[in-house]
């Protein structure tokens, strides 16, 4: 019997193709520019391998054998500081409105604190209003300019949350 319960678990190599398709589908749904966003990331088809390193983690939300979303953290690239980046947190429509964004964000921030990061950075787009509301609720503050060099020059909203006093 297949469970209807949603659960969060660590990514596996077998998840790569399903996750890449899911992320591209969600970005297309939101009419996100392909260049300068996650859509064009060269690592999108190999997320397991990308996050299989120290101080990095990626989690998936699944129902039965179907992945409905995911999100992860990793050290912010080309930034001199103890900051992680919240990355690739996307959900299919059937996982939205069920509190999974909140659960995934908490899961990622808990891991970031376990890894000893001082702050968590993210980039998104202004029309992702549900995501922005979630990040605001969790204490992310808007920045005037990007941190590090993520390569996502089409993302024009930058936010940061302090994890440690």
CATH number (domain holding residue 81): 3.40.630.30
101 in a structural domain:
yes
57 in a structural domain:
yes
d(CA 84, CA 74): 5
Read off the pLDDT of residues 105-142 as tens digits, 9 standing for 90 and up: 999 999 999 999 999 999 998 888 999 999 999 999 99
Identify whether the C-beta of residue 68 lies closer than 8 Å to the C-beta of residue 91. Answer: yes
What pTM value is reported for the model? 0.91
| Residue 1: pLDDT over 50 | no
Summarize the confidence of residues 43-65 as an average pLDDT.
95
d(CA 130, CA 135): 9
| Residue 2: pLDDT over 50 | no
pLDDT value at residue 103: 95
Cα 99–chain centre separation: 15
Helix-, strand-, coil-residue percentages of the chain, each rounded to 5:
35, 25, 40
Domain range for 34 is 6-162
Local structure of residue 6 (DSSP, 8 states): E
| Residue 32: pLDDT over 80 | no
d(CA 77, CA 24): 22
Count of domains observed in the chain? 1
Q: How many residues does the chain have?
A: 165
The residue whose two tokens read 């980046």 is 85
Q: Which of 7, 38, 36, 6 is nearest to 22 (CA)?
A: 38
1 in a structural domain:
no
pLDDT value at residue 127: 86
| Residue 59: pLDDT over 70 | yes
């Amino acid at each position: 019997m297949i469970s209807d319960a949603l659960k969060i678990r660590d990514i596996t190599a077998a998840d790569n193709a399903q996750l890449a398709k899911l992320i591209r589908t969600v970005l297309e749904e939101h009419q996100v520019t392909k260049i300068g966003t996650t859509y064009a990331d060269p690592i999108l088809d190999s997320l397991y391998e990308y996050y299989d390193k120290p101080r990095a983690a990626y989690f998936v939300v699944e129902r039965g054998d179907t992945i409905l979303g995911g999100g992860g953290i990793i050290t912010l690239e080309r930034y001199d500081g103890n900051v992680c980046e919240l990355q690739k947190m996307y959900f299919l429509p059937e996982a939205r409105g069920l509190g999974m964004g909140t659960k995934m964000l908490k899961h990622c921030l808990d891991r970031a604190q376990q890894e000893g990061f001082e702050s968590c950075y993210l980039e998104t787009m202004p029309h992702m209003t549900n995501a922005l509301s979630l990040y605001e609720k969790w204490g992310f503050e808007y920045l005037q300019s990007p941190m590090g060099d993520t390569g996502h020059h089409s993302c024009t909203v930058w936010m940061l949350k302090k994890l440690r006093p």
